[in-house]
Structure 1
Amino acid sequence: MPNTIRAAALATCAACILVPALASAAPDPRLDLAAEKRAEATVRQMTSAEKTVITHGIMPLPLGGNPPPIPADAVPGAGYIAGIERLGIPALKETDASLGVSYVMGLRKDGATALPSGVAQAASWNPDLLRSGGAMIGSEARAKGFNVLLAGGVNLTRDPRNGRTFEYLSEDPLLSGMLVGAAIRGVQSNNIISTIKHFALNGQETARKYVDVKIAEGAARESDLLAFKIGIEQGQPGSVMCAYNKVMGEQACANDWLLNKVLKQSWGYKGFVMSDWGAVPDLGAAIKGLDQQSGAQLDPAVFFADRLAAKAAGDRQWQARLDDMNRRILTAIYATGVDKHPVTPGGKIDFAANGLVSEQAARQGIVLLKNANGALPLAATAKSIALIGGYADGGVLSGAGSSQVHGEGGPVAVRAVSGTGVWASFIAQQYHRSSPQDAIKARAPGAAITFRDGRYITDAVEKARQAQVAIVFATQWMTEGLDVPDLSLPDRQDDLIEAVAAANPNTIVVLETGGPVKMPWLDKVAGVIEAWYPGARGGEAIASVLFGETNPSGRLPITFPRDESQLPRPKLDGSDTVEPSFTGDPAHPGDRLTTDYDIEGSDVGYRWFARKGEKALFPFGYGLSYTTFAASGLKTDGRTASFTVANTGQRPGATVAQLYLVSRGGERKVRLVGFRRLDLAAGAQGKVDMAIDPRLLADWRDGGWSLPGGQYAFALGENAESLGEPVTVKIAARRWKD
């Protein structure tokens, strides 16, 4: 597509999604009530045998030593739950994941549009961008015959070495909750069910099946659980997927406190809880709040079929629980319209239009971290450019595991990690077919462009020395199932960047990473952009930022530490004792591992840095632009806030206005309490009005929220460390239930 046409299409796409960022779009509660009443009526019509049909399912893939028979109407994907034709209950056909319709290790020979990684989308700070992305991937799921999308990853980034950092969104409960809620709304606009996952405190992949999270209830409620709560309020997901890990001694999928006391009783959640695949320890999980056993062949036994029926036949408590399980699953089906809008494989997908949705998300999520002496944007008249590393001649990196997505034709490059067969591709390093080199050539047609893969530093240095500009593409690969051991760039890439920068002072580094990395070479390069895993059209998005077609507007949704010593746990728990395994199963019977989240409590990410008085390499909320902005005139009463944002530079661009609580009762306490993305022409200004959620100011104590009376100070911030003059107001004490 010519650049002029592409720019016009993207402008149209952007105009569609840039509406007020914090507007709530929760469904009419009467629809939920109607769905619940329909579900109750259906349960009354069910026979005893029918009551264990929709409470368990299989993974309909030819995997494992003894895979179950695959029903004729199943679509190869993550899961299949049989329906009940007599009652008009459709089969549930499930696919991964938050970033698009999963590639399923290449077993299903079709393509899908890959969104940028979750953290890349979060860097846009734009809920409506995520809503558009959710609507897009939900439409592709429907076109392929799926009516459940296992989307909605919202666990907070407590440790950036977590192998699923790229899938999740941020370290802040407000930002994560608002974004995931918007994505879920988009998915479910297709009359399919979305999950929100992984409930809860799923913070590492090392020993993921048995690591036991230790945390006080107040700290959990003020952080990770608050992100889930906001996401559920905003998105109304039909299902919650519980996690692999333990929480305070109990498996998350058999955790009475999490599933019954918090989710269903305290929050009043009416949908159903599905297990993660292989996460159900026993039949007792049903009494503890689990409603559906997913991929049952991966568990020790099929608990939620004959065994569940036998319990219900002789025990009124179990009979009531079984009815409740069915009622919750049916409520989700009816509330989302799954039964009235059946799915059929073979629907038409407009990959060109959907690619533009992905590209727009990548453009808004790219973060400009450094731009010394106006090195960027590059001039289209550059005479020579050396491209180095990162498979930049062929494509852009993607994260691995169940969220792996690829377009038609599959990956352009694959780097094996370990193992053989289909499971090897589950954790292989793979690249999307979107070449940064091709996109750069299109924007600099008169330049002499060379590429070196970076394996030989001497060769790369020679090409860098010969060019006006050197662009090093540096990658940090992440996958479900494995954590990264540290925050360095692997394969001697730090040495490569150092050597290239010594040969050419006009060196730009493009980072394709799953999360933060250390940058020992930062002072020696002219520019750095964080492109994350930029999705199906990532090469185009990167080039558009490099050459100024896109004015970068991304802001970091997670803190970049200087090194691991700044983290609450400088050494990742289990990294020195647990044998790495993508399944996370114990290597030996009786294996134990505990991780102590009470160290930081609810002070996750930038809040931890503020508590410790530490300065990050790049703080939460940080990002540069090719123009300048100024925020002023803050007025607040502690419940609402208003202020003005102006574009004070020479280019149109977008910024993210950020409002922080900075002290409470004279005590320093930094918390994000509001944000808004604004697009402004050069010299233009915009008025921002926002509500402040009182939960962000309060503490969880004695079974409810407690807001101490006293002086509260708020400030506008360019990021969590660059804060303006505080405005102080007096707020009265109050308490309330969740």
Structure 2
Amino acid sequence: MKLEDMNSKIDEILKELTLEEKVKMIHGDALFYSGAVERLSIPAVNMSDGPMGVRQEFPKASWIPGGNSDDFVTYCPSNSAIAATWNKDLAYRAGVVIGQEARGRGKDIILGPGINIKRIPANGRNFEYMSEDPYLISQLVVPLIKGIQESDVAACVKHFALNNQETERLWVNVEIDERALREIYLPGFEAAVKKGGVESLMGAYNLIRGQHCCENKMLLKNILRDEWGYDGTIISDWDAVHDTKAAAESPLDIEMSVTYDFDDYKLANPLIEAVKKGEAKESDIDEKVHHILLMMFRLKMIGALAEERKAGCYNTPEHRSEVRGVAEESFVLLKNDDNRLPLSDKGLKELLVIGDNAERLHALGGGSAEIKALYEISPLMGIKSQLGGNTKVTYKRGYYVSPKEESQESWQEKSTDENLDQGAVVNARKQVSDEVRKKRDELRAEAVEAAAHFKDVILVVGLNHDYDVEGFDRDDITLPYEQDRLIEEVLEVNPDTVIVMMAGNAVSMGKWKDKAKTILWQWYCGMEGGNVLADIIFGRVNPSGKLPESMPYRMEDCGAIALGEYPGRPLTDEEKKLMNAHITEEYKDGIYVGYRYYEKYNVPVQYCFGHGLSYTTFEYSDITAVIDEFSVKNSKDKYQDGGEIILDESIKDKMAAKVSLNVKNTGKRFGKEIIEVYVGKSDSRVDRPVKELKGFEKVSLEAGASSHVTVELPIMAFSYYNEAKKNFVAENGKYQIYVGKSLEDIQKVCEVEI
């Protein structure tokens, strides 16, 4: 159906809807769906978390799951794992699985992907997000969204915008300069809207420049609706709306919350009363309903189109195969001295596996990303099941994790409580009783003793969803549960021990990383994670992931702390009069987030952005970079202004340069390599990062094979945001194009001139 036909039908429906029916459509009528209008056959919008698969079913008004057996699903790799593949095709295929499963469960919207910038390495929700780099996010979120929406279900990209910490997440006011906003924090969302065609978008909890995001006209109207031309549905995060009038006047379409008083939501009965008193306009409500109905037509939810809507499916063998394929390319081999990996399973008589994470299952944790998985293969199970009965696998827990006290209340009911003491929860993690300390000492001693008597040892350590979790940030990036001591003592008696670090967020490895020969990074990579780990350890799969984020040594090394004021400062007296916030945080780090900061300020990191090894080796040759004619033909007339090319929408994606090279697999086994292309300008008239990721390509090569690779760079790759001109501009002059295997492993620097 054409857009004009949909709009015409929507106009007819709006004339028939009463005020009460319209209002019913724009707020939650249950914890995960909006109100329906049965009189006109308008269904509810049925939503579900989240980014790692379709969440279990909840009753209309309870956060205690229904407990049925029909809502087990495929547990998908996290967005961090998808980003670590640097593979656009895999991002699309991961999206197809999520979309089919959401539709198969009868959902209209899946609440993901999450693409907030990883600004600090201790954000509790970083495991849900992709990267610290806006370009990498933009390249992967588009195919992910397209894959999801193929099944007549809407992706819901989140959280818009600047939701970069869990500390005071509902009440932190962010002050940021326009250049940082445009260059770092918005590109992923802009790509999701303009190139991904995302049908829904979730507003964030925090405030920006004094106004909550879900009521923020600058963010939702000026940028999203007017500048980007977005006509999709905007949904609030759960309990992110605070004022009826402000929300009514903002472009927000649907208010959701965590409480059960649905008729008392800000966009429910209070809005009806406001309209009747003349304090709110019904025309604003009409606009919200219009966006919802437009999404319904596009998803084939209403009218004759409903007969053509795809049915979806879930828990199929094909889905399990697809998520395994994504997981295979997400593992990152950080270190492999003496070619310790892969191990040979031929003649392997015994193997020692150590670590709580070797046996822990992670699917049903992490907050709203939790998944009721049909199954989850732990590292221990993956290793044992693949080795079979000819190898004796001994397991030692190694470190003690205090069990959580189960409550009849869901954490989500209290997650938005203004009086929630986040500090008390963080401090409670640090409290170690004598009993717990004794258990840890016993488990560690037992593991170290065993490690001294085994030739081959796999030590699986890292974080879990007590730390990678919604609602709370870590206060540092030290490994919990005294794991550093365990690792050091095991390496002391067995230097050949293979370290598997399972986490969704950066951790400090500085105390022992130089002593370890092999470190393999595993994200929360879905239900087949243990099988894939075994495949990689025994060489059936060659690791090909690379880090989508930097790994600093300490929390204090990141720019948000070194230059900024994370987690925020008390409000000034003037701010208290102007905003409903608890703290303000000025993003004084500006554009210097992640590797941009570490490289600019010469801060050493454990492992750099883009780092990742292989069991084979790759050689780059014949690297060239040439400027396309576009840059000559379009650097005059209306595009020329004071030595800068102003990039309007018509030329932003035009190719400006082409990078070419040959890549050869010089090793003895099949492998995949990611070629990374960065752009810098050493003599820029403005302060700029040393270099920024602007292109990449992943190639597959058999041993001895070569491939010719071309990476095209649009004119946007050479730009920065000019606040005075309120646009991206590209300076005339010379640029450096860096071609490398990682941010730090640059193979050649080419210079071009625009």
TM-score per shorter chain, which class? Answer: 0.7 to 0.9
Q: Is the 8 A contact 1:380 1:443 kept in 2?
A: no
Deviation at 1:606, TM superposition (A): 0.9
Q: Which residue is equivalent to 1:433?
A: 376
After superposition, where does 1:116-515 map in structure 2 within 5 Å?
116-283=77-244, 284-295=246-257, 297=259, 301-312=264-275, 318-339=281-302, 340-341=305-306, 349-381=314-346, 382-393=348-359, 395=361, 399-408=365-374, 433-445=376-388, 446-455=390-399, 456-477=443-464, 478-515=468-505
Q: Work out the CA distance in 1 between the residues paired with 2:678 and 2:135.
A: 11
Q: Is the 8 A contact 1:143 1:344 kept in 2?
A: no
Q: Work out the CA distance in 2 between the residues paired with 1:344 and 1:196.
A: 22
Q: Does 1:596 align with 2:618?
A: no
Q: Work out the CA distance in 2 between the residues paired with 1:517 and 1:107.
A: 36
Deviation at 1:593, TM superposition (A): 1.5
Q: Alpha carbons of 1:668 and 1:291: their partners in 2 closer, same or farther (altered >3 Å)?
A: closer
Deviation at 1:627, TM superposition (A): 0.8
Q: Does 1:56 align with 2:56?
A: no
Q: Alpha carbons of 1:720 and 1:299: their partners in 2 closer, same or farther (altered >3 Å)?
A: farther
Q: Work out the CA distance in 2 between the residues paired with 1:187 and 1:305.
A: 30
Deviation at 1:662, TM superposition (A): 2.5
Summarize deviations over 1:324-347 as a string: whole Å, max 9, x none. Answer: 111111122222323334799998
Q: Is the 8 A contact 2:658 2:711 kept in 1?
A: yes
Q: Which residue is equivalent to 1:708?
A: 731
Q: Which of 38, 43, 46 is the aligned partner of 2:14?
A: 43
Q: Alpha carbons of 1:493 and 1:33: their partners in 2 closer, same or farther (altered >3 Å)?
A: farther
Q: Is the 8 A contact 1:505 1:525 kept in 2?
A: yes
Q: Which residue is equivalent to 1:69?
A: none
Q: Alpha carbons of 1:80 and 1:711: their partners in 2 closer, same or farther (altered >3 Å)?
A: same
Q: Alpha carbons of 1:108 and 1:334: their partners in 2 closer, same or farther (altered >3 Å)?
A: farther
Q: Work out the CA distance in 2 between the residues paired with 1:399 and 1:375.
A: 33
Q: Alpha carbons of 1:575 and 1:200: their partners in 2 closer, same or farther (altered >3 Å)?
A: closer
Q: Work out the CA distance in 1 between the residues paired with 2:477 and 2:700.
A: 33
Deviation at 1:299, TM superposition (A): 8.6
Q: Is the 8 A contact 1:147 1:343 kept in 2?
A: no
Secondary structure of 1:715 counterpart: strand
Secondary structure of 1:53 counterpart: helix
Q: Alpha carbons of 1:561 and 1:362: their partners in 2 closer, same or farther (altered >3 Å)?
A: same
Summarize deviations over 1:644-685 as a string: whole Å, max 9, x none. Answer: 322222211111111100325357631111111111112222
Bigger drift between 39-48 and 159-168 goes to 39-48
Q: Does 1:652 align with 2:618?
A: no
Q: Does 1:524 align with 2:515?
A: yes
Q: Which amino acid aligns with 1:450?
A: T
Q: Work out the CA distance in 2 between the residues paired with 1:656 and 1:35.
A: 43
Deviation at 1:396, TM superposition (A): 5.4
Q: Is the 8 A contact 1:212 1:594 kept in 2?
A: yes
Deviation at 1:313, TM superposition (A): 5.3
Q: Which residue is equivalent to 2:45?
A: 92
Please, what TM-score do these two structures have when normalized by structure 2? 0.81
Summarize deviations over 1:127-176 as a string: whole Å, max 9, x none. Answer: 22122112112212222221111112110100110000000000111111
Bigger drift between 644-653 and 198-207 goes to 644-653
Q: Is the 8 A contact 2:508 2:553 kept in 1?
A: yes
Secondary structure of 1:195 counterpart: strand
Q: Is the 8 A contact 1:473 1:510 kept in 2?
A: yes
Secondary structure of 2:667 counterpart: coil
Q: Alpha carbons of 1:292 and 1:637: their partners in 2 closer, same or farther (altered >3 Å)?
A: same
Q: Work out the CA distance in 1 between the residues paired with 2:351 and 2:237.
A: 47
Secondary structure of 2:157 counterpart: strand
Aligned length: 651
Q: Is the 8 A contact 1:254 1:280 kept in 2?
A: yes
Q: Work out the CA distance in 2 between the residues paired with 1:298 and 1:663.
A: 55
Q: Which amino acid aligns with 1:505?
A: P
Secondary structure of 1:524 counterpart: coil
Please, what TM-score do these two structures have when normalized by structure 1? 0.83
Q: Work out the CA distance in 2 between the residues paired with 1:299 and 1:729.
A: 61
Q: Is the 8 A contact 1:176 1:231 kept in 2?
A: no
Q: Work out the CA distance in 2 between the residues paired with 1:368 and 1:347.
A: 36
Q: Work out the CA distance in 1 between the residues paired with 2:536 and 2:596.
A: 30
Deviation at 1:574, TM superposition (A): 6.8
Summarize deviations over 1:293-328 as a string: whole Å, max 9, x none. Answer: 113747994222333334445659823222211111
Summarize deviations over 1:581-619 as a string: whole Å, max 9, x none. Answer: xxxxx9xx987212221x221222111112212232111
Secondary structure of 1:49 counterpart: helix
Summarize deviations over 1:43-98 as a string: whole Å, max 9, x none. Answer: 344333332221111344xxxxxxxxxxxxxxxxxx11122344442211110001
Q: Which residue is equivalent to 2:595?
A: 606
Q: Alpha carbons of 1:228 and 1:575: their partners in 2 closer, same or farther (altered >3 Å)?
A: closer
Bigger drift between 365-374 and 648-657 goes to 648-657
Deviation at 1:547, TM superposition (A): 0.8
Q: Does 1:559 align with 2:554?
A: no
Deviation at 1:534, TM superposition (A): 1.9
Summarize deviations over 1:207-234 as a string: whole Å, max 9, x none. Answer: 1010111111121011111111012223
Q: Is the 8 A contact 1:628 1:649 kept in 2?
A: yes
Q: Which residue is equivalent to 2:534?
A: 543
Secondary structure of 2:356 counterpart: coil
Q: Is the 8 A contact 2:114 2:157 kept in 1?
A: yes
Q: Does 1:643 align with 2:637?
A: no
Summarize deviations over 1:508-544 as a string: whole Å, max 9, x none. Answer: 1111111111112111112111101121111001111
Secondary structure of 1:713 counterpart: strand
Summarize deviations over 1:263-309 as a string: whole Å, max 9, x none. Answer: 11111111121100001011112212212111374799422233333
Secondary structure of 1:692 counterpart: strand
Deviation at 1:112, TM superposition (A): 1.0
Q: Alpha carbons of 1:260 and 1:543: their partners in 2 closer, same or farther (altered >3 Å)?
A: same
Q: Work out the CA distance in 2 between the residues paired with 1:299 and 1:219.
A: 39
Q: Work out the CA distance in 1 between the residues paired with 2:89 and 2:140.
A: 8
Q: Which amino acid aligns with 2:45?
A: L
Q: Which structure 2 segments of 5+ residues have no match? A: 58-63, 400-442, 571-575, 629-655
Q: Which amino acid aligns with 2:495?
A: P
Q: Which amino acid aligns with 1:678?
A: V
Q: Is the 8 A contact 1:179 1:231 kept in 2?
A: no
Bigger drift between 101-110 and 91-100 goes to 101-110
Deviation at 1:725, TM superposition (A): 2.4
Q: Work out the CA distance in 1 between the residues paired with 2:28 and 2:362.
A: 35
Q: Which residue is equivalent to 1:687?
A: 708
Q: Work out the CA distance in 2 between the residues paired with 1:570 and 1:705.
A: 28
Q: Work out the CA distance in 1 between the residues paired with 2:166 and 2:307.
A: 36
Q: Work out the CA distance in 2 between the residues paired with 1:399 and 1:720.
A: 33
Secondary structure of 1:706 counterpart: strand
Q: Work out the CA distance in 1 between the residues paired with 2:172 and 2:751.
A: 43
Q: Work out the CA distance in 1 between the residues paired with 2:232 and 2:595.
A: 33
Secondary structure of 1:406 counterpart: coil
Identity across the alignment (%): 32
